[in-house]
């Protein structure tokens, strides 16, 4: 499904996908602080890496859309 998703036209609303990942990464970091389990530490690093990858992709797609003049265009 990710190939199909990446082939879709970009919209600024795609940034909404990053918020749940950020919340989950923060929650796993807080759980690690509370209980010190290695699982939560590993999960927080993995989720943080995934969040960074998602943010980088969104930043790239946003910059590309700005360069192409596809952001804030009038509705047809």
Structural domain contains residue 76: no
Cα 9 from Cα 29, distance rounded (Å): 34
The upper half-sphere exposure of residue 48, i.e. CA atoms within 13 Å in the direction of its Cβ, equals 11
Asked, for residue 5, whether it belongs to a domain, the answer is no
pTM listed for this prediction:
0.79
| Each residue's pLDDT tens digit, 44-60 | 999 999 999 999 999 99
Q: How far apart are CA 43 and CA 28, in angstroms?
A: 7
In a domain, 73, yes or no: no
Does 60 reside within a domain?
Answer: yes
Confidence of residue 1 (pLDDT cuts 50, 70, 90): low
* Whole-number average pLDDT of the chain: 89
Report how many domains make up the chain: 1
Label residues 33-67 b or e (16+ Cβ within 10 Å = b). eeeeeeebeebbeebbeebeebeeebeebbeebee
What's residue 36's pLDDT? 93
């Amino acid at each position: 499904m990710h190939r199909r998703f990446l082939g879709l036209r970009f919209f600024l609303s795609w940034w909404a996908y990053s918020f749940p990942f950020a919340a989950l990464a923060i929650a796993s970091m807080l759980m690690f602080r509370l209980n010190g389990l290695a699982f939560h530490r590993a999960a927080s690093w993995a989720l943080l890496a995934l969040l960074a990858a998602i943010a980088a992709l969104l930043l790239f797609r946003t910059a590309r859309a700005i360069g192409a003049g596809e952001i804030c265009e009038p509705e047809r």
